[in-house]
Chains A and B, each alone.
Chain A
Amino acid sequence: MAIAETQVYMPQAPRPRLRLLEDERWLALVLLVPTLVLLGLFIAYPFVRGILLSVTSSRVGVPGEFVGLANFYKIFNDGIFRTSVYNTFVYTGVTTVFKLALGLWLAMLLNRNFRGKALTRAFILLPFIIPTVLSTFAWKWMFDPTFSVLNWLLYHFGLITGRINWLGDPDLAMISIIIVNIWRGVPFFAISLLAGLQTISPELNEAAAIDGAKPWQRFWHITWPLLLPVTMVVVLFSVIQTFADFQIVYVMTGGGPANATHLFATYAYQIGIGTGLLSEGAAISLAMFPVLFLVVIIQLLYIRRVEVR
């Protein structure tokens, strides 16, 4: 029956090669092959290679031999590595809180009608569009110990009397890096949360206002719960990116002063590429994996829960 029908509607039968593509499974396979090849070659394979590399003693030009968990044992007893772990958690935690708070605030500001709204929104995204390395150089120049414009401002507002050596002091350097990361991340949070806010019907807020709810109550009992799904995804996404961040620290401090501001990624780079201890570098990178894995699992479970509802 089915065959007869096809013959009626399709006078010329397609060539055999194309006929194979009429089967959904074959078509799906053909369409997915390029993606699977690229992701397999440059994600799955390097991941396996990374694990193998981390249990050997390879250096640049030296293949190395199996050493078991010696590299991991070594890095966990390494003071700089421990500092990097601590820094990474502080960096991720502090910046995420600020990015969420400021991003949400900015999103709420953008969620009303005012003249020049489209233009404002376009400009606000600039820190996110412009290559991070390049804009971080502008920040490095602003934090320059001798020519800092920030010092000039603080001095002329009467807030400081001497100079602040922003990048020369471990704590101030960490604060500087955190500021730059917040600066870069706020637009992403604001625009994503704005998209979430726009899906919330204004009638809900109006109804609550008529019932006498104060602005703060309306935010807490209406906007925030409805925005939570978007917020969760944005936060988890940002946590992964921030946890594995590299560029800002690389440009601002290079991990200094005295290795006090390294993150996982910059320390892995310094050991693996800078010093050439490939295995140790790979081990430091892979040490990020458990945390990233956990965040991904939370994200997958959360998305599934939202989809089921």
Chain B
Amino acid sequence: MIEGARWRTWVFFYVPMALFLVFLLFPFYWMVITAVRPDGELYRPWNAINYNPFWTWKPTWDHVRYLLDETLFVTWLWNTTFIALASTAISLVCGVFAGYALSRLTFPFAGSLGTGIFITYLVPQTLLFIPLAEIIRNYRLGDTPWALILTYPTFLIPFCTWLMMGYFKAVPKELEECARIDGASRWQAMLYIVIPVAIPGILSAGIFAFTLSWNEFVYALVFLSSPEQKTVPVGVTSELIRGDVFFWGPLMAGALLGSIPVAIAYSFFVEHYVAGLTGSVKG
């Protein structure tokens, strides 16, 4: 695409690309290097002499060990995994069913229901968290994983539905009709013919929903109070800071270890994730 001399490729492609990569990835490098750097090196003022902030010759596991032994980090990891998997599963079932109904069945108010679900997709968590906290308390769900497992689907279902509608619309009607002529009921045709064809869509919705619930913060912050119930983002925020003192080593180790599960899940399904992301925008 770029015509002309070689230097143009450098100026218009390699240099900007490299700058973008440094800007976007440097914080993660900083997380890693902080997590393995001994405290003595960590707390040296930025203008100290002979100080190289970008490398350490004395890497240490102290921060990771502190995190795993002295804090409830492992419990938080387990909580987050359980909550993210459960809310993803609920959202997938609801989203696949609703997406099927809205894209392939004719019934009264189908259009306005679709619009309604799309609007809830755009409701941010911060609009409703105060009344929702009250409701959670009234249902006696406060400080339990169920407070999150039941509320996370509110922002996952609309997105799953929206994405699945796109996939279901692409399945030809004839496929389902053939199955029905062969004696399958509507329910069976949906379950055994249409849904299997839309498996890539289900994977995309699932991986996207999993990362969203792993990352959620506001509801988890407001609905959970005891340390052993917390999720990773909330636990790291509230338990690794004492007043004004930040334990930067363990904090960065926690940020790193707390990111690895989503990063792994993501790396296995990059293509599906991207399909989900772009599908969620285009609808």
Which residues does A use to contact B, with CB under 8 Å?
9-11, 14, 18, 21-22, 24-25, 27-29, 31-32, 34-35, 38-39, 41-43, 45-47, 49-50, 53, 102, 105-106, 109, 112, 114, 118, 120-127, 129-135, 137-142, 144, 146-149, 151-152, 155, 163, 183, 186-188, 191-192, 195, 230, 233-234, 237, 240-241, 243-247, 250-251, 264-265, 268-269, 272-273, 278, 281-282, 285-286, 288-289, 292, 295-296, 299-300, 303
B11 within 8 A of A: no
A132 touches B277 (CB 8 A): no
Cα(A34)–Cα(B105), bound, Å: 17
Write out the residue numbers on chain A whose beta carbons fall within 8 Å of the beta carbon of B270: 118, 121-122, 125
Write out the residue numbers on chain A whose beta carbons fall within 8 Å of the beta carbon of B132: 42, 46
B211 within 8 A of A: yes
Pick from A124, A131, A230: contact of B258, CB below 8 A. Answer: A131
Extra inter-chain contacts (10) besides given A18-B187, A43-B154, CB under 8 Å: A27-B105, A28-B101, A31-B97, A43-B120, A53-B134, A133-B233, A134-B255, A192-B281, A269-B218, A300-B119
Q: Name B139's closest neighbour in chain A (CB-CB).
A: A41
The contact sample of 22 A-B pairs, CB cut-off 8 A, is A9-B181, A18-B185, A29-B107, A31-B98, A35-B97, A38-B94, A38-B153, A39-B154, A41-B135, A43-B123, A43-B154, A46-B135, A125-B270, A127-B27, A129-B263, A129-B266, A133-B234, A138-B252, A139-B27, A183-B23, A195-B274, A269-B222
Write out the residue numbers on chain A whose beta carbons fall within 8 Å of the beta carbon of B55: none
Cα(A134)–Cα(B235), bound, Å: 11
Write out the residue numbers on chain A whose beta carbons fall within 8 Å of the beta carbon of B129: 268-269, 285
Cα(A6)–Cα(B255), bound, Å: 61
Q: Name A39's closest neighbour in chain B (CB-CB).
A: B120
Pick from B2, B135, B183, B259: contact of A131, CB below 8 A. Answer: B259
Give the distance to chain B from A144, nearest Cβ to Cβ, in Å: 8
Interface size on B, residues (CB 8 A): 102
Write out the residue numbers on chain B whose beta carbons fall within 8 Å of the beta carbon of A234: 281
Cα(A147)–Cα(B46), bound, Å: 5
Residues from 68 to 100 in B contacting A, C-beta threshold 8 Å: 90, 93-95, 97-98, 100
Interface of A is mostly: helix
Which of A49, A135, A137: most chain B Cβ within 10 A? Answer: A137
A192 touches B283 (CB 8 A): no
Which residues does B use to contact A, with CB under 8 Å?
1-2, 13, 16-17, 20-21, 23-25, 27-28, 30-31, 34, 42-47, 51, 53-54, 90, 93-95, 97-98, 100-102, 105-108, 110, 113, 115, 117-120, 122-135, 150-151, 153-154, 157-158, 161, 181-183, 185-187, 211, 214-215, 217-218, 222, 232-234, 236-237, 246, 248, 251-252, 254-255, 258-259, 262-263, 266-267, 270, 273-274, 277-278, 281-283
Pick from B43, B115, B267: contact of A122, CB below 8 A. Answer: B267
A233 touches B25 (CB 8 A): no
B24 touches A43 (CB 8 A): no
B24 touches A187 (CB 8 A): yes
A106 touches B20 (CB 8 A): yes
Write out the residue numbers on chain B whose beta carbons fall within 8 Å of the beta carbon of A292: 122-124, 127
Q: Name A280's closest neighbour in chain B (CB-CB).
A: B130
